[in-house]
Chains A and B, each alone.
Chain A
């Protein structure tokens, strides 16, 4: 069954899902926060105290122009400086697949935050599977719009992979939502059946065991 979700802002659909999980007034850090769309939304609508980490100078400037607190730097390094449980939520949106050492990053996230939110494109989507099977090429989809030699995605994972990973390395998945979005990711639907085959993205709420 598909559940229709109303598009209620200019926020990207996956970010709307993440925003809906965050308690008002909490403390949130966005790792790889880009131009700060999610954080600005949370600051405005949920009165969160926000921090972003972003490596690209131009995006950092955009965040500051939006009134956000943001630190320019590499997420893998910047996470180390915060005290334990400095944040209520640590968000890693659509970046996990580009992280060299996902395990240590997730450990750091669960150290500095009470909860972590992780989302990534699902490489198990039927579209990806069919392309590999039928054309013999590595996948090229709206969610994965890169050539093999230009892609920043160095970790190829599916929703099933991530669930197993959580079990093996020992953190809890408190919530999982699989979504299917339109080409511009502005609107989408939540996928309840056969998510690993039918969802373009997975979004997870994590905690320490």
Chain B
């Protein structure tokens, strides 16, 4: 998922990994969704790294962001051009140390990387769901992950972490299944989408809907709405960077030319970069999944969980130890949103740490190698583990 991930320069890696699948909620025992609809069967694609210890007390659950997948670390084969999206954080001796911890990452419900989503076969019609796929929420994604935990025989999660929409799942877990979560690290995330974040998602969705190939979601087996999806991705990328990041990375530099072309072709490097990201994205992502998942993120509002209408009351459900991390140049989920979260946790008398990491790369900073972030994650999880084993 990450455009940034590269082979580890020190050669540290979890090595070969494989994608596993778990199918549940077979009719007539479908899963009931927040919308009231029922969905089943459901398949989740997931990967695990490291070893589960005897008393199953070393579980770290990683939740991926909007366009991520279960492949958080390691390689499927020797020929892989790059490892999983968070390989700089997960591995032997790394921030989430796979010599100590058993790491699980699954593709979200509604996704398109092996988990059930709008591109999956609808058992009722024997055709892909398309727009017949029910709306899923962050709560539904977490409910499906809970089923996976049960399947793996896991009752306690030592620590869970994720950035962006992954962080939303982390927060949701802590209030939806509070008895299961010992500690949590929400990164670059928010308790609820701001109007700004919803606005960008809506523009991205409209770009897809405006592509004639989208055909109201019924395009499987035909031409994909690649144009719309690539524009959606380009918009997303702008929000993941920052003014400073773009100034440094591109400035006003031109792409393969010395002067303006006076054409609507690519002139600037930043244009070239965005087009490249858009073009790469359509090869791996399903446009309908993009629609459903962005909507789930927009609907997310932790403060309304169980109709509490109060972040303080919602967090009082949880007894997890928290470490909230934001990044200075993140304008999609700015630091004030993390601070609001921390404020509510303090009022609920939760054990919470907070750090705003200085980073110039915007929202995507959580994906990039950053020694301070690594040290924070490592220090936090290790101390939670130490405290848990003491008891």
User: Contact residues of A with B, CB < 8 Å?
Assistant: 49, 51, 57-58, 60-61, 63-73, 78, 81-83, 86
Contacts and interface: CB of A to CB of B under 8 A. Distances in A.
B235 interface: no
B355 interface: yes
B354 A61 contact: no
12 contacts: A57-B356, A61-B355, A64-B353, A64-B375, A65-B379, A67-B387, A69-B352, A71-B353, A71-B354, A82-B347, A83-B347, A83-B349
A86 B354 contact: no
Which of B342, B346, B376, B387 gathers most chain A CB within 10 Å?
Answer: B346
A61 B347 contact: no
Given A57-B372, A72-B354, A64 B380 contact: yes
Interface of A is mostly: mixed
Nearest to B322: A69
Closest 4 CB pairs of A and B: A67-B383, A65-B379, A81-B346, A64-B379
A67 B342 contact: no
A78 B352 CA distance: 12
B355 A60 contact: yes
Contacts of A71: 342, 346, 352-354
B356 A66 contact: no
Contact of B347 (A51, A64, A81): A81
Contacts of B375: 61, 64-65
B154 interface: no
Nearest to B387: A67
A166 to B, nearest CB: 28
A21 B71 CA distance: 51
B218 interface: no
Q: Which of B339, B353, B380, B386 has the most CB of A within 10 A?
A: B353
A70 B353 contact: yes
A67 B379 contact: yes
A58 B355 CA distance: 9
A106 to B, nearest CB: 20
Contacts, number: 65
Interface of B: 321, 323, 339, 342-343, 346-347, 349, 351-358, 372, 375-376, 378-380, 382-383, 386-387
A73 B354 contact: yes
Contact of A61 (B346, B349, B379): B379
A61 B353 contact: no
A66 B383 CA distance: 8
B131 to A, nearest CB: 44
A67 B382 contact: yes
A57 B371 CA distance: 12
A49 B350 CA distance: 11
Nearest to A51: B351
Given A67-B383, A83-B347, 12 more contacts: A61-B379, A64-B376, A64-B379, A65-B376, A67-B379, A69-B351, A72-B356, A73-B354, A81-B342, A81-B346, A82-B349, A86-B349
B386 A67 contact: yes
Given A64-B379, A67-B382, A72 B343 contact: no
A57 B358 contact: yes
A145 B358 CA distance: 29
Nearest to B356: A72
Contacts of A51: 351
A63 B355 CA distance: 11
A65 B380 CA distance: 7
Contacts of A66: 379, 383
Given A49-B351, A67-B386, A70-B353, A61 B321 contact: no
A164 to B, nearest CB: 34
Contacts of A57: 355-358, 372
Nearest to A67: B383
Nearest to A79: B346
A70 B322 CA distance: 10
A24 B108 CA distance: 45
A1 to B, nearest CB: 43
Please indicate which of the listed interface residues B323, B343, B375 has the most CB atoms of chain A within 10 Å of its own CB. Answer: B343
A51 B323 CA distance: 12
A186 to B, nearest CB: 26
> Which of B339, B354, B376 has the largest count of A CB atoms less than 10 A from its CB?
B354
A49 B375 CA distance: 22
B158 to A, nearest CB: 14
Contacts of A72: 354-356
A65 to B, nearest CB: 4
B96 to A, nearest CB: 14
Contacts of B352: 69, 71
Contacts of A58: 372
Contact of A64 (B323, B342, B356, B358): B323
Find the residue from A70, A72, A78 having the highest chain B CB count within 10 A.
Answer: A72
Contacts of B372: 57-58, 61
A78 B354 CA distance: 11
B376 to A, nearest CB: 5
Nearest to B350: A69
B72 to A, nearest CB: 22
A160 B325 CA distance: 43
A81 B130 CA distance: 46
A63 B19 CA distance: 37
A31 to B, nearest CB: 14
Contacts of B376: 61, 64-65
